[in-house]
Structure 1
Amino acid sequence: MIPKYRKQFNKEFSDEKYSQLKGILAKKGGIEPTFRISESPIFLTKEFESKLIDASESIISQIKTLPAEILQKAIPDNCRVPNDTDKPHFFTIDFGICRSENGAIEPQLIELQAFPSLYAFQKVYEETYCEVYPFLSEIRNPMSHETFKNHLKELIVGDENPENVILLEIFPEKQKTAIDFSLTEKLLGIKTVCLTKVKKEGLKLYYENDEKHTEIKRIYNRVIFDELDNIPDLKTEFDFREEVDVKWITHPNWFFKISKFLLPLLKHQFVPKSYFLHEFPEHESLENFVLKPLFSFAGSGVNLNPTIEITSAIKDKENYILQRKVNYEPLFEDINREFSKAEIRLLYIWRENDEYPILLENLGRMTKAAMVNVDFNKKDAIWIGSSNAFFG
């Protein structure tokens, strides 16, 4: 989309530089990424960036006007956690990079979450691209590493001693995002702790920190709460639904409140029309829509070609949405003159006393498959996987 930078990148690209990129990331993280790293960044124009920001600000403003009781309806009764908060600490929003009916390149909303994505990793990823390809520094994110770090530290650690703050995950060493946990530890001085290792005494939570029984006062939560029931024989001392003396960053209820549940409620030219399955109108055609369960992660359960037989068989129709299909445009040319599609996730933080969130970084995903998700990529393709967007 920016011919100057695409041409220069493709000219400079080599397999050696790609190996160098992955090697630097592994060295900085202490472990190798277990998801595919794209060979290329995504280059987008400032005009496209303005469209992204305009759509995001409109969506955020609409969410702010929604009554609290509407958002509460999104939380399944068996997943409700005490001591809810007025706003989430994180806000992430995914846009497909599409071509409109009139031929314009524009973003189209795909999904939104109040759940932390790869914040620490993406900043390091952007910086590493600039190390390997120095010309990228002229269009890099203007937020400095130090400012980025201070924002995250203020949000996650706050006024507490870092040893009383943990990154909470379930079996973190098995997660694809493990490199982000490692980079978060290095950035903030906190430990990653498995949910099975958390001890509960009264209303207090504890973990073993270098053989020292240490109180947990703040939890940077990375557990996808509605997936815990799918783990066989899971044994924990602490249940999310219990009353505990801890501050959640961010509160687990927001995982449900800012989710696909909101898509039918939002209006903007860059927001595809969506309906709850049980409210799907007769005048619409199923073939123009994608079927998505409300409570799924990483693209699981999505049906790109729903039929009346499939939708009729669903018992809990209120837990599914139909979202109008959008056409991802193959815009990102690789060295073989083939093209990838992409989507971009904007990574915001939302401080408790701020009216609006702050945009920290972005996350790109590139594919040559039908679905833009790193798990659905062809294994022998290039210019696919996790990426980062540069605007110029």
Structure 2
Amino acid sequence: MIPFARDRFNEGFSDDKYRAFLQALDSAHPGAIDFRVAETPVFVPRSFRAQMEETCAYILDLIADPSFKQRTAAAIPPGLWTPGEQDYPHFVSFDFGVCTGDTGLPEPRLIELQAFPTLFAFQVWLPENYQAQFPIPPDYDYLLGGYDKPGYIRLLKDIIVGDVPPEEVILLEVKPHEQKTRIDFYLTQDYLDIRPVCVTELFAEGRELFYFRDGRKTRVRRIYNRVIVDDLMAQKETLGPVIDLTAGWDVEWISHPNWFYRVSKYLLPLLHHPLIPQAYFVQDLKTVPKDLDRYVLKPLFSFAGQGVVLEVTPRHLEDLPDPENWILQRKATYADIIRTPDGPAKCEIRLMYFWKDGALRPVPANNLARLSKGQMIGTRYNKDKTWVGGSACFFEP
């Protein structure tokens, strides 16, 4: 996206450097990176970043509005509402596809959004290793909001740990040591001294939750929540006894589970902005769009692209047993924007915002990128391809 930076990077690239980069990346926790890391970062122009941040600001205005909870009450599935919700989510992330605008220049299009943690720790380790191994312009930075690494870690710790002893804060997940993103859990422990804990390890006494840390029964006062309820439900029969996370325990959630639903695909039909493809609740459609081939069909309650229908037909809409749980979203055509040795790659960029308790607004803090040469972003669409996978952005100053 920035020609001189791309030329310099590609000219300085070699397979040997890439292997050394992967070895260094793996050295923090050998064997814990269970996904493909791309050969290159993404170089983002100042103007493109401004477009993304302006779009985020528009959405954050809605989330900060006092009426937002009322407008999104129906987003939380029956039986999954959890007591103890804070006024705002601690984290909000926005996914943008890099597309081509009417002027022929790159332009972001909002694809999805979530009030849920992502790779906050890994996305410090990854760009540091790009910088160590490859020619990155020295004045380009991966962090946003004016943060340096110590300031970023301090902000993350203030939000997740706060004034609670770290041993009483846990990173909660389903089988965390089997997750593809476990490298992020281990780096979070390195930075914040909180441990990944499986939902099966929690037990209750009254309204209080506990786990065993180094053989000692330890109270849980804060939960850094990484549990995707879909994932938990899918595995529940094989997990054995698991406490009901919606039961109103005497803990503080970071972020609260209700926000996973409020700020999600459910919000897309409520947004009207030039850089946000129009979306509709299927149950609200009066007529089927004539250009249905220019839309994708997405389930509201799914994760990592599961259940998405790319080639939508009227029959798909007619056969839905639960149209209230689906949206129809106008396609965003990703640009073949990243020049690589074996053909161009598409790109998706995630901006990560952190919302500290007491702050009027969240602040942009970090990013991640994903490169693809397939029909969609994701591993299953990029098998046996190179210059694809997880990455990071470096922003023009």
Distance 1:282 1:63 in 2: 30
2:319 aligns with: 313
Pairwise CA distance, 1:101: 3.3
Q: Of the candidates 169, 176, 180, which is equivalent to residue 180 of structure 2?
A: 176
Distance 1:235 1:367 in 2: 38
- 1:181-225 deviations in Å (ceiling 9; x for gaps): 000000001111111011111111111111111111100000002
Letter in 1 for 2:34: T
Letter in 2 for 1:81: T
- 1:62-110 deviations in Å (ceiling 9; x for gaps): 2323432222210001211111111101101100000123423110010
- 1:362-389 deviations in Å (ceiling 9; x for gaps): 0100000010123321x22211000101
Distance 1:187 1:289 in 2: 42
1:46 aligns with: 46
Q: What TM-score does the superposition give when structure 1 sets the normalisation length?
A: 0.97
Contact 2:8/2:135 (CA < 8 Å) preserved in 1?
no
Letter in 1 for 2:9: F
Contact 2:109/2:276 (CA < 8 Å) preserved in 1?
yes
Cα 1:171–1:283 shift into 2, 3 Å:
closer
Between 1:223-232 and 1:189-198, the stretch displaced more is: 223-232
Q: Does 1:121 align with 2:122?
A: yes
Letter in 1 for 2:151: T
Contact 2:369/2:392 (CA < 8 Å) preserved in 1?
yes
Extract structure 1 runs of 4+ deviating beyond 4 A. Answer: none
1:72 aligns with: 73
- 1:233-259 deviations in Å (ceiling 9; x for gaps): 332342111121111001011110100
1:81 aligns with: 82
2:273 aligns with: 268
Q: Does 1:257 align with 2:262?
A: yes
Cα 1:138–1:374 shift into 2, 3 Å:
farther
Structure 1 unaligned regions, length at least 5:
none
Contact 1:277/1:320 (CA < 8 Å) preserved in 2?
yes
Distance 2:327 2:242 in 1: 35
2:59 aligns with: 59
Distance 2:337 2:172 in 1: 38
Q: Does 1:218 align with 2:222?
A: yes
Contact 2:41/2:391 (CA < 8 Å) preserved in 1?
yes
Q: Does 1:288 align with 2:291?
A: no
Distance 1:177 1:26 in 2: 13
Between 1:115-124 and 1:234-243, the stretch displaced more is: 234-243
Contact 2:9/2:135 (CA < 8 Å) preserved in 1?
no
SS of structure 2 residue aligned to 1:205:
strand
Q: Of the candidates 236, 240, 261, which is equivalent to residue 241 of structure 2?
A: 236
Between 1:278-287 and 1:348-357, the stretch displaced more is: 278-287
Distance 1:283 1:199 in 2: 49
Q: Of the candidates 355, 358, 365, which is equivalent to residue 350 of structure 1?
A: 355
Contact 2:97/2:108 (CA < 8 Å) preserved in 1?
yes
Cα 1:144–1:29 shift into 2, 3 Å:
farther
Pairwise CA distance, 1:170: 0.5
1:26 aligns with: 26
Cα 1:359–1:29 shift into 2, 3 Å:
farther
Distance 1:42 1:367 in 2: 12
SS of structure 1 residue aligned to 2:157:
helix
Distance 1:56 1:202 in 2: 41
SS of structure 1 residue aligned to 2:109:
strand
Q: Of the candidates 326, 336, 355, which is equivalent to residue 332 of structure 2?
A: 326
> Map of 1:338-377 to 2, 5 A cutoff?
338-377=343-382
Contact 2:101/2:107 (CA < 8 Å) preserved in 1?
yes
1:193 aligns with: 197
Contact 2:230/2:303 (CA < 8 Å) preserved in 1?
no
- 1:337-380 deviations in Å (ceiling 9; x for gaps): x1000100011111121111111110100000010123321x22
- 1:299-323 deviations in Å (ceiling 9; x for gaps): 0000111111111000110100000
Report how many residues are paired.
390
Q: Does 1:300 align with 2:306?
A: yes
Contact 1:289/1:324 (CA < 8 Å) preserved in 2?
yes
Contact 1:25/1:32 (CA < 8 Å) preserved in 2?
no
SS of structure 2 residue aligned to 1:11:
helix
Structure 2 unaligned regions, length at least 5:
none
The percentage of counterpart residues that share the same residue type is 41
Cα 1:200–1:30 shift into 2, 3 Å:
farther
Q: Does 1:335 align with 2:336?
A: no
Between 1:282-291 and 1:8-17, the stretch displaced more is: 282-291
SS of structure 1 residue aligned to 2:238:
coil
SS of structure 2 residue aligned to 1:351:
coil
Distance 1:268 1:281 in 2: 22
- 1:130-189 deviations in Å (ceiling 9; x for gaps): 111253432123521100110000000000110010000010111010000000000001
Contact 1:30/1:182 (CA < 8 Å) preserved in 2?
no
SS of structure 2 residue aligned to 1:365:
strand
SS of structure 2 residue aligned to 1:86:
coil
Distance 2:241 2:363 in 1: 35
Q: What TM-score does the superposition give when structure 2 sets the normalisation length?
A: 0.95
RMSD: 1.3
2:154 aligns with: 150
